[in-house]
Every structure is written in C-alpha cells, then in structure tokens.
Amino acid sequence: MDVRIGIAKTQQVVEVAMEDDADRDAVKSQIEAALSGDSKVLWLADRKGREVGVPAAQIAFVEVGSADAERRIGFGA
C-alpha cells in the first residue's frame, strides 16, 4: 500500500511504500489522529522497516492507495 503526504507551503510530497498487507483502517486512524491534533507527528513505517515522521501541522493532504492497485505503464488503446 502506498501513502502520499503533501507538505504545506511547499511542493514536497513524501511517499511511503508500506507493506501490501498493512491494515488500511489502522493507517487511516493514525492519519486522522495526527490531523485532529491527538498526535503532533505522523509516523509510518515503510516496507524496509524505516520510519518516516511528518509534523502533523505541516500536512496538506494524504492519499492512501489500495493494497492491490495495479501499476500501469505505457499507453492504453
């Protein structure tokens, strides 16, 4: 599952490639907690075990991709 986080007042986007079997609802709950002010930093772990922290006050948007999304390359006819 891929998570994209836009950073406010910049064009920066943080992309976190999480495990395919990551609990989508749990990740969304973490995001909601950070955005509601319950947490000051949103921490997510990627596939390699690295942790990425984003200050909640700097989050402009969050996209949560599906675990089974296909990646298409090329042109469709």
pLDDT at 77 over 90: no
Domain 2-64 - what CATH class?
mainly beta
% of the chain surpassing 90 pLDDT: 74
**pLDDT by residue (tens digit) across 7-36?**
999 999 999 999 988 999 999 999 999 999
How much is the pLDDT for 20?
Answer: 86
Decide: helix, strand or coil at residue 62.
strand
21 versus 77: the higher-pLDDT residue is: 21
Complete edge-to-edge strand list for the sheet that includes strand 13-17: 13-17, 2-7, 59-64
Predicted local confidence at residue 65, as pLDDT:
86
